[in-house]
Structure 1
């Protein structure tokens, strides 16, 4: 497959995922507002990530439809948008793992305290 064909495939899937991410982020932000304003933050981050992916899609389209302008600059913008996308996704993934570990430890501690409390009061 040529670079042009690869960029066309990338553009299709990046556009599809960008739209899904933006819609999902919007729904998450709206539902998060009802709990507390801070609950909307993950949705807003998803919208930003979706926009970065959409920008990468647009850059890939411009490279495919080469019009004689500086193609290197377009490739640099494509890579920049993808780098930002992956950085944000990576940080969110790390935060998710840390949150899971903290909740797991709290769950074990709560279970231990519950067993300790039950052993002191057998009736």
Structure 2
């Protein structure tokens, strides 16, 4: 990649990374607050989003510094923070999938309990 294209890409990563990081933090806070009302564990996905947003913002900051100074240390830090961001997103997805599967299982269990309850109750009794 030629230096001019790389510089434009780094500037784009810097701008969009900061904005997206802020949005991750805001959405994470909303998710954590809404999840905390149901169960304490419901706040975990929001906390993971907040942490991901922080790592993304750090990566964006390093991309901006790399565009200005083109130092090897900035590149290492940018990639390190981006790797942490990707890892946190993976953990967030795993937690979200697990919670979704548990919710589906709970739904079917409650549905079956409701059906079973209906089999043993005398709802059409004429007293």
Query: Do both proteins adopt the same fold according to a TM-score greater than 0.5, normalized to the shorter chain?
Result: yes
Counterpart for residue 100 of structure 1: 100
Q: Structure 2-normalised TM-score?
A: 0.79
Structure 2: state its 5+ residue gaps. Answer: none
- Quickly say closer, same or farther: Cα 1:83–1:27, change in 2 above 3 A: same
Contact 2:28 2:50 in 1 (8 A): yes
Residue equivalent to 2:24: 21
Question: Where in structure 2 are the equivalents of 1:40-119 lying within 5 Å?
Answer: 40-66=43-69, 71-119=71-119
- Residues 96 and 42 of structure 1: is their aligned pair in 2 closer, same or farther, counting only changes over 3 Å? closer
Root-mean-square deviation (CA), in Å? 2.3
CA change 1:119–1:41 in 2 (3 A) is closer
> Which deviates further from its counterpart, 84-93 or 26-35?
26-35
Measure how far apart 1:30 and its partner are: 5.0
Matching residue within 5, 9, 16 for 2:8: 5
1:18-43 superposed Cα distances (whole Å, 9 cap, x missing partner):
11122333444455666676655444
Query: What number of residue pairs does the alignment pair up?
Result: 120
Q: Helix, strand or coil for the counterpart of 2:69?
A: coil
Query: Rg bigger for which structure?
Result: 2
Flag the 1:73–1:102 CA change in 2: closer, same or farther, 3 A: same
CA distance in 2, matches of 1:101, 1:37: 19
